[in-house]
């Protein structure tokens, strides 16, 4: 547990030190003319969508590509612990290029989830923390998240904001009153964020869910969190994962054990030497070398921009590009 907490803290510090240019959301009077056959990209402060948000206020990242046929589905990506959506632009842009309305969502992603739950003798605490982060209901002393700051509240307010600011992009199709039409959503995330994607898919019916380098493992009890094996409303055939065999944060053996008890379809199949559609498996793996080697690189390589393997020209390598397309479209 101590090792895990230190690694999570190191990731958070690395993110906080990395400088990213901040571009404010475009006001209505400055809104560019929206036209078919264009790529739209926005950075939106959570506090610009709801004045009650003041923590975890790094930009949401939003993009829509009307140069392709739109699927009328929403891709929502949850960053890992301490991360911001702007560190995961590549996977969000890939979703947009494939026809999704695509969002990288900023949410309360501190390390409390792990420091409270990962060695807690009460194995329900992972799930209780994730429930509170999802919908803002008071579940546990481990985290403190209200309805304004939870994932559901933030996503609803962001969609409402986008619908008002950019009505022709049709984000309003995903709003269900004060909630979201989850059945139109593909939920994905990295590390902590991948756990949220899987957890939410257990609680509400979604179109698909994808976990990048994620697990909820209780090190004290030596087993998965209780929510992992609980019944869920989204069919297990719609759960997908991708993990590095060399992950420094989450044991590859434990990850595969967790995916097995969850019942994910197929066997672990490497994207390094197998072509899409990978036999239809929901369990992709890689032993590729990350683009950079600092701060748990193998944990980050599946989707974090700086770490994703690149060609000499800077493009995402074919193995990863093909894997992302498979995860998003198969």
Q: Is the pLDDT of residue 140 over 60?
A: yes
In whole angstroms, give the CA distance from residue 90 to residue 87: 8
**pLDDT higher for 187 or 13?**
187
> How many Cβ atoms from other residues are within 10 Å of residue 287's Cβ?
13
- The confidence score (pLDDT) of residue 119 equals 96
Residue 203 vs residues 153, 227, 305: alpha-carbon distances, Å:
16, 10, 29
Dihedral of CA 200/57/49/43: which sign? negative
Q: Is the pLDDT of residue 248 over 90?
A: yes
Per-residue pLDDT tens digits for 264-293? 999 999 999 999 999 999 999 999 999 999
**SS3 of 310, please?**
strand
- The confidence score (pLDDT) of residue 13 equals 40
Dihedral of CA 208/213/218/224: which sign? positive
Per-residue pLDDT tens digits for 31-52? 444 556 899 999 999 999 999 9
Tally of helices (H runs) and strands (E runs) in the chain: 11, 13
Q: Is the pLDDT of residue 296 over 70?
A: yes
Reported as a pLDDT band with limits 50, 70 and 90, residue 313 is very high
- The confidence score (pLDDT) of residue 92 equals 98
- The confidence score (pLDDT) of residue 35 equals 54
Peptide bond before residue 127 is cis, with ω within 30 degrees of 0: no
Size (the chain), residues:
330
> In the 8-state DSSP scheme, what is residue 75?
E
The count of C-alpha atoms lying within 13 angstroms of the C-alpha of 13, restricted to the half-sphere facing its C-beta, is 9
**Mean pLDDT estimate for the chain:** 91
- 182 phi and psi, to 5 degrees? -65, -25
Reported as a pLDDT band with limits 50, 70 and 90, residue 240 is very high
Name the residue with tokens 């898919």.
Answer: 201
In whole angstroms, give the CA distance from residue 192 to residue 209: 14
Specify the pTM.
Answer: 0.91
Per-residue pLDDT tens digits for 69-118? 999 999 999 999 999 999 999 999 999 999 999 999 999 999 999 999 99
- 171 phi and psi, to 5 degrees? -70, -20
Q: Which of 296, 306, 243 is nearest to 11 (CA)?
A: 296
Please say whether the beta carbons of 131 and 203 come within 8 A: yes
Per-residue pLDDT tens digits for 157-172? 999 999 999 999 999 9
Please state the rounded mean pLDDT for residues 108-135: 98
In whole angstroms, give the CA distance from residue 225 to residue 127: 7
Please say whether the beta carbons of 222 and 251 come within 8 A: no
Please state the rounded mean pLDDT for residues 1-14: 45
- The confidence score (pLDDT) of residue 136 equals 98
- The confidence score (pLDDT) of residue 36 equals 62
Structural domains for the chain:
2-231 (3.40.50)
Q: What is the DSSP string of 238-284?
A: GEEEEEETT-SSS-HHHHHHHHHHHT-SS--EESSS--TTGGG-SEE
Please state the rounded mean pLDDT for residues 216-241: 97
Per-residue pLDDT tens digits for 15-27? 433 333 333 444 3
Please say whether the beta carbons of 238 and 272 come within 8 A: no
- The confidence score (pLDDT) of residue 37 equals 85
Q: Is the pLDDT of residue 321 over 70?
A: yes
The H-assigned helical ranges of the chain are 2-17, 46-49, 89-97, 112-117, 125-135, 151-165, 192-203, 226-229, 252-262, 297-300, 318-329
Residue 313, C-beta contacts closer than 8 angstroms, at least 6 positions apart = none
């Amino acid at each position: 547990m101590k090792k895990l907490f230190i690694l999570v803290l190191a990731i958070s510090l690395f993110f906080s030190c990395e400088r990213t240019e901040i571009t404010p959301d475009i006001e209505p009077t400055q809104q560019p003319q929206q036209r078919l056959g264009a790529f739209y990209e926005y950075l939106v402060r959570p506090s610009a969508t709801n004045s009650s948000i003041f923590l975890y206020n790094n930009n949401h990242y939003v993009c829509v590509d009307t140069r392709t046929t739109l699927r009328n589905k929403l891709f929502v990506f949850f960053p890992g612990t301490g991360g911001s959506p702007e560190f995961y632009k590549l996977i969000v842009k890939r979703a947009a290029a494939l026809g999704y309305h695509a969002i990288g969502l900023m949410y309360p992603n501190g390390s409390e989830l792990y420091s409270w739950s990962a060695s807690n003798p009460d194995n329900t605490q992972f799930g209780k923390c994730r429930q509170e982060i999802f919908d803002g209901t008071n579940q546990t002393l481990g985290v403190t998240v209200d309805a304004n700051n939870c994932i559901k509240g933030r996503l609803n307010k962001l969609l409402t904001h986008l619908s008002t600011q950019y009505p022709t992009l049709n984000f309003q199709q995903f709003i269900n009153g004060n909630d979201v039409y989850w059945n139109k959503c593909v939920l994905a995330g990295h590390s902590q964020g991948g756990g949220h994607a899987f957890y939410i898919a257990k609680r509400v019916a979604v179109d698909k869910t994808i976990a990048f380098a994620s697990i909820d493992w209780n090190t004290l009890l030596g087993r998965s969190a209780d929510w992992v094996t609980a019944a869920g409303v989204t069919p297990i055939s719609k759960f997908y994962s991708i993990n590095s065999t060399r992950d420094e944060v989450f044991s590859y053996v434990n990850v595969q054990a967790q995916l097995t008890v969850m019942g994910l379809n197929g066997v672990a199949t490497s994207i390094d030497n197998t072509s899409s559609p990978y036999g239809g498996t929901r369990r992709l793996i890689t032993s590729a070398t990350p683009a950079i080697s600092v701060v748990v690189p193998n944990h980050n390589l599946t989707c974090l921009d700086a770490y994703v393997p690149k060609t000499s020209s800077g493009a995402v390598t074919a193995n990863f590009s093909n894997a992302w397309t498979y995860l998003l479209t198969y």
